């Protein structure tokens, strides 16, 4: 738990991204500020319309507040998660007393079985533990809302949703969505926002506490499956919970992040909607979860990806949660963007890009599944063969790369490498599952692609691998993934030299441990402006240092990255290297994947 400045301190009128915690039920998620404001919630699920989006527009975005009525009287704030859960505890101390607020999207026991478990309600329980506190609750929605009810229950319609707000005692003004109530030590009030059909079961503070206790226990039961002991175990477990919050239990899909359009640079145009399933991001998530014992989520995603990726003739790089291609990307004319960073985008135009790494990402997931003892029937085998054939047909053709440039396609080294991974993993799957007549072909293709990649991506003059084939002088941080995907040996001197070059040329600041993905001046991406440092790349750097035997440097870098988590252990997509502020969508699955994977690598290679 950390003490934070008064809630009234903002930047450009906005709270900092890092001053929030994430709660969720696997179907949707909400961001809870340290000041008791819920500033993000999409309904009825991750990719639905945002009812609350005040992070994207402080006046028109909509939010649900619950905090002391007099902001100026707040003297300290604390926020934490209940251990191994997605239940938050926020404590606000004022001149007159202290209030504790527990928040959660409630779940039932089906959550442990990885089934659909969402109850469809958000429960808030406020208890004054000392003195007396006048609480104020307000609710506004993106684009405005209509309310109908009284001071005990209100039906609210806005942003494509109808929700019902109920309270366990009369709150004067609630009918107008601006209620106040004074509580003294020992008194509580529960507030329930429900969007599922049917009435809530929470009719008293005791009911609310019971629902929150059940939800916490369900999370703890699930977390018993986490298999990791070692340094920063608390952050590894928090990262696992965070990735689980991005998991969609109804079918196994995994969202890249639960938010949209939080900017990669303040005032820039690099604002993207991440509330969808990127095959690449989800594949990395599967790898991280499997490494710490969470195989059910990993297997669920493989089922989802194989069922969906071949239904549309070729695998797309991202899908809706239902496994369908996305509609067009649109810009919202009504929202100003976080700290005045337009445009606010819904949907993602990268959905139609060609990115050849997707074949290898899926086949690597499948190989993990088979290696762990999973059985592969003939239907699934044919789907994997189809992916291998696409890699075989396309590995020499340009694409838009792992970073999804909005410019002319190029022969990215990482994309070629992942086509090699596709062929290699298919040969291994064939051999392991007894389909031996396929082994030789895919092994030969794997060797062919690797040999050509090593020849055309490596520059003899500089002694390093390049971002593109046949184009000396360019670098990007995806090169750090080559040994992680076993394309290049982890102790290959060429890889060690490349790692040093990336660390020097793509460093975001001096001795920060932060890296840019690439330099826009050297590798044009079709967009204006800059972006922050990309956290996953720094974790890849850790893994490369471990692989080259530089364990102490790797541990020191990892420790410095862990020190960058916010007060509840969450990480964004990017960090501003000049101000250390969080940037991009938050929390970001990629960053927590990196933390888990690096932690596991360090523990497995720790000198004994």
352-411 pLDDT per residue, tens: 888 899 999 989 988 988 988 888 899 889 989 999 999 999 999 998 988 888 888 889
Note whether 432 and 406 are same-domain residues.
yes
The first and second tokens of residue 286, run together, are 């599967």
The first and second tokens of residue 606, run together, are 């720790």
Domain membership of residue 313 (yes or no) is: yes
- Please give the residue range of the domain that contains residue 453: 233-604
18-77 pLDDT per residue, tens: 999 999 999 999 999 999 999 999 999 999 999 999 999 999 999 999 999 998 899 999
Domain boundary among 223, 244, 269: 223
Note whether 312 and 343 are same-domain residues.
yes
Quick check: 7 pLDDT over 50? no
Note whether 214 and 238 are same-domain residues.
no
Quick check: 313 pLDDT over 80? no
Note whether 246 and 213 are same-domain residues.
no
Domain membership of residue 228 (yes or no) is: no
34-47 CB burial, b ≥16 within 10 A, e <16: bbbbbbbbbbbbbb
Residue range 73-94: average pLDDT? 96
Domain boundary among 223, 244, 278: 223
Residue range 242-251: average pLDDT? 90
194-224 CB burial, b ≥16 within 10 A, e <16: bbeeeebebeebebbbebbebbbebbeebbe
φ, ψ of residue 510 to 5 degrees: the values are -95, 125
| Pairwise CA distance, residues 370 & 363, whole Å | 10
Note whether 103 and 246 are same-domain residues.
no
Note whether 212 and 352 are same-domain residues.
no
| Pairwise CA distance, residues 402 & 355, whole Å | 7
Domain membership of residue 268 (yes or no) is: yes
Domain membership of residue 383 (yes or no) is: yes
Note whether 98 and 238 are same-domain residues.
no
* 186 C-beta neighbours (distance < 10 Å), count: 9
Q: What is the DSSP letter of 128?
A: E
Note whether 320 and 180 are same-domain residues.
no
Note whether 219 and 265 are same-domain residues.
no
Length of the chain: 608
Note whether 240 and 380 are same-domain residues.
yes
Residue 257's alpha-carbon distances to 19, 30, 128, 260, 308, in angstroms, are 17, 12, 34, 8, 20
H/E stretch holding 91 = strand 88-94
Domain boundary among 192, 223, 254: 223
Task: Measure the CA dihedral 383/386/391/393, to 10°.
Answer: -170
Domain membership of residue 573 (yes or no) is: yes
Domain membership of residue 567 (yes or no) is: yes
Domain membership of residue 361 (yes or no) is: yes
| Pairwise CA distance, residues 276 & 255, whole Å | 5
208-227 pLDDT per residue, tens: 999 999 999 999 999 999 99
Quick check: 112 pLDDT over 80? no
Quick check: 11 pLDDT over 70? yes
316-330 pLDDT per residue, tens: 888 999 888 888 999
Note whether 209 and 237 are same-domain residues.
no
CATH number, position 278: 1.50.10.10
| Pairwise CA distance, residues 306 & 528, whole Å | 36
Note whether 196 and 286 are same-domain residues.
no
| Pairwise CA distance, residues 438 & 248, whole Å | 34
Domain count within the chain: 2
φ, ψ of residue 73 to 5 degrees: the values are -85, -10
CATH number, position 188: 2.70.98.50
């Amino acid at each position: 738990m950390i003490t934070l400045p008064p809630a009234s301190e903002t930047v450009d009128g906005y709270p900092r991204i890092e001053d929030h915690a994430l709660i969720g039920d696997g179907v949707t998620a909400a961001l809870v500020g340290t000041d008791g404001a819920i500033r993000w919630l999409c309904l009825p699920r991750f990719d639905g319309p945002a009812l609350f989006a005040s992070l994207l527009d402080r006046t028109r975005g909509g939010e649900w507040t619950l905090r002391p009525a007099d902001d100026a009287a707040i003297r300290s704030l604390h926020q934490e998660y209940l251990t191994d859960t997605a239940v938050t505890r926020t404590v606000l101390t004022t001149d007159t007393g202290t209030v504790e607020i527990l928040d959660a999207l409630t779940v039932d026991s089906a959550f442990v079985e990885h089934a659909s478990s969402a109850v469809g309600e958000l429960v808030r329980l406020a208890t004054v533990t000392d003195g007396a506190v006048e609480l104020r609750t307000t609710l506004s929605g993106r684009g405005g809302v209509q309310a109908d009810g009284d001071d005990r229950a209100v039906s609210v319609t806005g942003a494509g949703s109808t929700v019902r707000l109920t309270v366990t005692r009369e709150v004067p003004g609630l009918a107008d969505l601006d209620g106040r109530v004074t509580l003294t030590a020992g008194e509580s009030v529960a507030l329930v926002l429900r969007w599922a059909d049917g009435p809530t079961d929470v009719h008293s503070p005791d009911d609310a506490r019971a629902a929150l206790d059940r939800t916490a226990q369900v999370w703890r039961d699930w977390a018993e499956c986490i298999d990791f002991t070692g340094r920063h175990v608390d952050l590894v477990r928090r990262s696992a919970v965070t990735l689980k919050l991005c998991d969609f239990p109804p079918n196994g899909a995994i969202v890249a992040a639960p938010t949209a359009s939080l900017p990669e640079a303040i005032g820039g145009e690099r604002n993207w909607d991440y509330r969808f399933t990127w095959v690449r991001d989800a594949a990395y998530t599967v790898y991280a979860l499997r490494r710490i014992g969470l195989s059910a989520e990993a297997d669920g995603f493989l089922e989802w990806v194989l069922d969906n990726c071949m239904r549309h003739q070729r695998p797309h790089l991202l899908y809706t949660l239902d496994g369908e291609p996305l509609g067009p990307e649109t810009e919202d004319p009504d929202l100003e963007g976080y700290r005045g960073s337009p445009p606010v985008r819904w949907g993602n135009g990268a959905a139609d890009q060609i990115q050849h790494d997707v074949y290898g990402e899926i086949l690597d997931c499948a190989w993990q599944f088979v290696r762990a003892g999973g059985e592969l029937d003939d239907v699934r085998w044919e789907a994997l063969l189809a992916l291998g054939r696409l890699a075989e047909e396309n590995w020499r053709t340009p694409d838009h790369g792992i970073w999804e440039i909005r410019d002319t396609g190029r022969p990215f080294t990482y994309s070629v490498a992942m086509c090699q991974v596709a062929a290699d993993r298919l040969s291994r799957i064939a051999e392991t599952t007894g389909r031996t007549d396929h082994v030789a072909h895919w092994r030969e293709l794997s060797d062919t692609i690797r040999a050509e990649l090593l020849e055309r991506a490596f520059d003899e003059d500089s002694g390093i691998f390049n971002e593109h084939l046949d184009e000396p002088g360019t670098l990007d941080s995806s090169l750090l993934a080559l040994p992680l995907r076993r394309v290049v040996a982890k102790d290959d001197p060429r890889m060690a030299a490349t790692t040093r070059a990336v660390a020097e040329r793509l460093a975001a600041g001096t001795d920060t441990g932060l890296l840019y993905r690439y330099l826009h001046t050297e590798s044009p991406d079709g967009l204006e402006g800059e972006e922050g440092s990309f956290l996953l790349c720094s974790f890849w750097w850790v893994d490369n240092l471990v692989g080259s035997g530089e364990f102490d440097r790797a541990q020191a870098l990892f420790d410095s990255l862990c020190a960058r988590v916010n007060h509840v252990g969450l990480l964004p997509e990017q960090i501003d290297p000049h101000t250390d502020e969080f940037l991009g969508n938050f929390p970001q699955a990629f960053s927590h994947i990196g933390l888990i994977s690096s932690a596991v690598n360090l523990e497995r290679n720790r000198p004994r």
